[in-house]
Amino acid sequence: MSPNKSSSRFVSFPRLKKSFVYAAAGVVFTWKNEQNFRIHTVAAAAAFLLAQVLRVPLIEQAVLAVAVGAVLCLELVNTALEHITDVLIQTYDERAKIIKDTAAGGVLVFALTAAVVGGMIFIPRIVHILF
């Protein structure tokens, strides 16, 4: 790789812009092709809307945002791992199944964790309103 002018600068804004465009393309691809990513995104939007309706304090909304962001991030990483596995192993292989299953399991574990966080934030408020 030969050095160029943009590599000597601390920040190359054209390269930075390209990296954001590529990252956005990955998010769009995942949205279009992965049902669970869409489900988690819609659930996240609902959670943030509910947080506004229930006037959840900002610090708790920040905790919610971290949990939601982690779930969406893990979905993106899971999608990448699935595609890498498909490229490298093009026939059925138990090892490929393990790779895909464990990556999906990571998403599941954190999605359940995020649901617990949401429950801890929302359930007491909903109970207070109802009773």
> Catalytic site residues?
75
Q: Cβ neighbours of residue 50 under 8 Å, at least 6 residues apart?
A: 122
Q: How many other C-beta atoms lie within 10 A of the C-beta of residue 96?
A: 16
d(CA 27, CA 81): 14
d(CA 10, CA 114): 37
Q: Look at residue 9 and give its three-state secondary structure.
A: coil
**Residue carrying the six token digits 């393990």:** 98
Q: Cβ neighbours of residue 19 under 8 Å, at least 6 residues apart?
A: none
